[in-house]
Amino acid sequence: MGPRWSGTLLYVPLLYGLGWLLVRPLGGLAPGLRPDQVDLAGAVVALVLLLLTLPLRLRRAWGESHPWRALGVLAPLPAVLGAFGRGLLRALALLALVVIALLASGGARWIGPAGLEGGEVLNALALVVGVGFAEELVFRGWLWGELRLQMAPRAALLLQAAIFALVHPWSRAGWLGAVGLLGGLSLLGVNLALHRLEDRGVLWGAVGLHGGLVGGWFALQAGLLEVVPQAQAWLAGPGTPPNPLGGVVGWIGMGGVLALMAHTRPQKPAT
């Protein structure tokens, strides 16, 4: 029978809303918690609900008897490690391009490892695994899989990238910054999907690329690199701190990786 559009549209938002509702009492039980900490707890609860319900969703809506393999989470260990390592290396290369451009233009000052504390290193690692896995499971795992069952493959790839871009914060960056962020996030969404195709369906390469970008940029901002106030937004990216995906360097980097992967011949997922 396959998934229905109503289920595709409502499944994750309902889980997120339920997670948000379940943690509301925390504000009264622990008044010292900031609102953003309560919201983070809600997101964690929603992720747990997603992990618990995804196998049932795939069995009933997709007719899939091996849900975690279909999502690209379970695969032979060498395939998982190889894919994750390639994704991480690509993330580091993209971040290096951004750093070199900022230093060369005078938009940033290098501080080095001495400016990074141990707690910030742990936070960066948590972002690599947490944000990378959670968002890739939702977008390149579940959402892209549902869309491919309901439309042409190319349309499904482009639509998941567009949805991925739209759900991220971009509207406060001014119209030019918003255009830059939407374009950069869309390019990233396409790159992440092609990375999964290149890895024969294994999700962990996309996790490494996505998590490496998020965690690596956090580590740079937390103490390795100081972006000066005079840095040009068109180069460094909009926002405070800037998001390099919305700048020219980020677009060039994403476009370069896309060009390298665009002609990779898709293969059947690893089993």
Q: What is the DSSP letter of 238?
A: S
**pLDDT band per the 50, 70, 90 thresholds, residue 104:** very high
Last residue of a domain, one of 15, 43, 65: 65
**pLDDT band per the 50, 70, 90 thresholds, residue 270:** very low
Does residue 271 fall inside a structural domain?
Answer: no
36 and 123 inside one domain: no
The answer to whether residue 271 scores a pLDDT higher than 50 is no
Q: Per-residue pLDDT averaged across 169-192, rounded?
A: 89
Other residues' Cβ atoms within 10 Å of the Cβ of residue 9: 11
Task: Please check whether residue 124 is in contact with residue 222, taking contact to mean a CB–CB distance below 8 angstroms.
Answer: yes
**pLDDT band per the 50, 70, 90 thresholds, residue 265:** low
21 and 80 inside one domain: no
114 and 192 inside one domain: yes
52 and 99 inside one domain: no
28 and 148 inside one domain: no
Residue with tokens 């069995």: 59
Q: What are phi and psi of 109, to 5 degrees?
A: -125, 130
3-state secondary structure of 66: coil
The whole domain housing 190 covers: 74-262
Q: What angle do CA 43, 197, 139 make, to 5 degrees?
A: 20
Kindly report the length of the chain: 271
Q: Which two three-digit tokens encode residue 140?
A: 């390149």
Distance CA 41, CA 3 (A): 29
pLDDT for residue 115: 73
Does residue 248 fall inside a structural domain?
Answer: yes
Maximum mean pLDDT: which of 3-7, 76-80, 167-171, 176-180: 76-80
Q: Per-residue pLDDT averaged across 20-26, rounded?
A: 90
179 and 134 inside one domain: yes
pLDDT for residue 140: 97
Does residue 54 fall inside a structural domain?
Answer: yes
239 and 186 inside one domain: yes
Does residue 268 fall inside a structural domain?
Answer: no
Instruction: Name the pTM for this structure.
Output: 0.92
Last residue of a domain, one of 16, 38, 65: 65
Helices 248-262 and 77-105, axial angle in degrees (round to 10)? 150
The answer to whether residue 264 scores a pLDDT higher than 70 is no
Domain count, the chain: 2
Q: Per-residue pLDDT averaged across 123-132, rounded?
A: 91
